[in-house]
Amino acid sequence: MLNPLLNNDICQKARMSRDPRFDGKFFTAVKTTGIYCRTICPVYPPKEENVVYYATAIEAAKAGFRPCLRCRPDSAPGSPAWQGVSTTLNRAIKLIDEGALQGSSLQALAERLGISDRYLRDIFKKHLGTSPKAYALYQQCLFAKQLLHQTKLPITEVALASGFSSIRRFNDCFVSQLNLTPTQMRKSRIEQSNELSLKLYYRPPYDADFMLKFFKTRSIENLEWGDENSYGRTFEFNNTQGSFTAKHIKDKNRFDVTINLNDVRQLKAIVNNIRRILDLDVDIHTVEQNLEKSFNGQFTIKTGIRLPGIWNMYEAGVRAVLGQQISVVAAKNLVTTLVANLGVTVGNKFLFPTPEAIVNSGLDFLKIPGSRKQTLKNLAKHFLMNEAPEEPEHWLKLKGIGPWTTDYACMRGLSDPDIFLGGDLGIKKAIGNARYQFEPQQTSPWASYLTFQLWSQL
């Protein structure tokens, strides 16, 4: 079912012009060939009477169409059709994309969300037209297809990286979901390697200059790296250690990402997190239209500004605590000192310090008040002792943590799109200098983008 804002006339114009701004927002299925495509597909466009438009790839697949081997729908930016509709649905999709249904049941997922499994099935059916398990399985297959196209991983490794426990189940699901066999995808020679290269696409506009400069200004030595065209860092995810470097390819509307890791089984969730950090899936055109209406011409929106993310909520919280009421440079120096003293060495780089490392350290190397050190230790202990430590409302019970800290962590650690940092000194300066008059709630659900728009003016 198409978004009402995307009627057939708009879809026709978008596919005929191969407009990259609509890439992933809908898919074109061709009745005469049985194939569905992205809007940017390079093949000669079929006649309008032979096409059907679908909002998501899984809807096209359920209707009996298989993915195009030229434009590769598995590489399209994620569709945000369900975003802002239901907080529960957004959380469910995030957990499923992280592998919540690969090693656990639907009932267990529903319990984590605080709802019944019946209600979970209902919201998926209402907003996505399918069940949670069907959504999860199709996403696994699409990710596997992407790996078969873009990497030289052996098919066994592709199956594991996509969340399948056996080759037989992988082959069966691949054929049933995509009407293709894995070997039909594989054209490159096979090599065993810990390094993977993937192409991650976005819808323009994308202000890579602002994004990469923001990362570089706050880059922590031996944890992060980058220049005017790239950003990279080390990471740990569910006991998997690795690193990535994302290089911007402007004329292709994508990042070429090289990933090194010691276990491919977490690859799908890791790639999803990289997409979040680079903010590749937002419908930025909708965001900017909303902001322009809210400000009623008070200032010109800088087009393409996204939300630069931090690897996870824990790291974002630690960096926020160390950044309270000091400059960006001073905060960067404190985080650099923390990483150099407590980070685990991986080659010539560091991983971000674990909660255990902070709890067990006296933090004497940090030139900050004792109360601030205790706040850091309290936050780290919170992550060690709680089943759902990322819930920000629980952080406010910790001494030394206030709304600015939790809001900053949510905005960058979870990429929450609706955070306005009204108490931030930089935001106050930007508003005061220009004498803007507005109500932040008018920009909901995109207040985080307003925050970055204002920061960009400093």
pTM for the predicted model, two decimal places: 0.89
The alpha carbon of residue 262 and the mean position of all alpha carbons in its chain are separated, in whole angstroms, by 21
Tell me, yes or no, whether 303 lies in a domain: no
Is residue 255 assigned to a domain? yes
Segment (H or E) for 196: strand 195-201
CATH number at residue 377: 1.10.340.30
Residues 378 and 443 in one domain: yes
Are 178 and 227 within one domain? no
Type of residue found at 380? A
Residues 48 and 171 in one domain: no
My answer on whether 31 and 103 are in the same domain is no
3-44 pLDDT, tens digit each: 655 788 889 999 999 989 889 889 999 999 999 999 999 999
- 402-447 tens-digit pLDDT: 999 999 999 999 999 999 998 888 888 888 776 777 777 788 889 9
Q: Among 264, 296, 321, identify where a domain stops.
A: 264
pLDDT digit string, tens, across residues 249-259:
999 999 999 99
What is the model's pLDDT at position 366?
A: 97
What is the DSSP annotation of 88-120? Answer: HHHHHHHHHHTTTTTSS-HHHHHHHHTS-HHHH
Same domain, 317 and 448: yes
**pLDDT at 136 (0 to 100):** 93
Considering the domain architecture, whether residues 125 and 205 belong to the same structural domain is answered as no
Q: Residue 145: inside a domain, yes or no? A: yes
Write phi, then psi, for 278 (nearest 5 degrees).
-90, -5
Q: Are residues 402 and 320 both part of a single domain?
A: yes
- Of 126, 158, 185, the one marking the end of a domain is 185
Number of helices followed by number of strands (H, E) in the chain: 20, 11
pLDDT digits (tens, 9 = 90+) for 350-362: 999 999 999 999 9
Q: Are residues 326 and 443 in the same domain?
A: yes
Same domain, 122 and 227: no
Please give the pLDDT value at position 300.
82
In a domain, 298, yes or no: no
* Same domain? 444 vs 348: yes
275 lies in some domain = no
Q: Tell me: do 347 and 433 sit in the same domain.
A: yes
Q: The CATH number of the domain where 25 resides is what?
A: 3.40.10.10
Residue 294 domain-assigned? no
Count how many domains the chain has: 4
The closest of 406, 405, 403, 360 to 380, measured between CA atoms, is: 360
Residue 117: give its domain's CATH number: 1.10.10.60
Range of the structural domain that residue 174 is part of? 87-185
Looking at residue 230, which CATH number applies to its domain? Answer: 3.30.310.20
pLDDT score at 95: 87
pLDDT average per 10 residues of sequence, the chain (458 residues): 71 91 91 94 93 90 90 81 66 86 89 92 88 93 92 91 92 89 70 80 96 97 97 96 97 96 92 96 90 79 96 97 94 98 95 98 96 97 87 90 95 94 86 74 88 90
CB 238 within 8 A of CB 272: no
Nearest to 58 by CA among 8, 5, 132, 113: 132
Q: Which residues contact 404 (CB under 8 A, 6 or more apart)?
A: 320, 324, 421, 423, 424
Residue 121 is predicted with a pLDDT of 94
C-alpha 351/C-alpha 225 separation (Å) is 13
Same domain, 342 and 240: no
Asked whether residue 269 is assigned to any structural domain, the reply reads no
